[in-house]
Amino acid sequence: EDQVTQSPEALRLQEGESSSLNCSYTVSGLRGLFWYRQDPGKGPEFLFTLYSAGEEKEKERLKATLTKKESFLHITAPKPEDSATYLCAVQALNSGNTPLVFGKGTRLSVIA
């Protein structure tokens, strides 16, 4: 069974204090690993897709990396507007359009 575990559950940072969020996964074969940002009461907003170990992607203060067992979302010099829940999901390699399997998310609070 495909599984995703995210840690920590919650993270509180001072503005400018860099940190990393972890996503550990088990999947029969990986089609893609996805990071989403979710604000309270809203739907997930797409951030990154990673397809193979060693791949890295960046967007503003965020950088996502991937190994064969886990992914990290690095946040450099965060700002209060980066406060949100960050969700990690995997899509298995299979015929057709397989559904995403999500972790429970990391709730990030950035304090000014």
Closest CB 63 distance from other proteins, rounded Å: 18
- Bridge partners, residue 102, by sequence: 89
**Residue with smaller CB distance to other proteins, 32 or 78:** 32
**Residue with smaller CB distance to other proteins, 11 or 100:** 100
Binding site for other proteins (CB under 8 A): 4, 31-32, 34, 36, 41-46, 49, 87, 89, 91, 96-105
Closest CB 90 distance from other proteins, rounded Å: 11
Residue of 34, 7, 20 whose CA lies nearest to 102: 34
- Report how far apart, in Å, the C-alpha atoms of 83 and of each of 8, 13, 15, 34, 40 are: 14, 9, 10, 19, 10
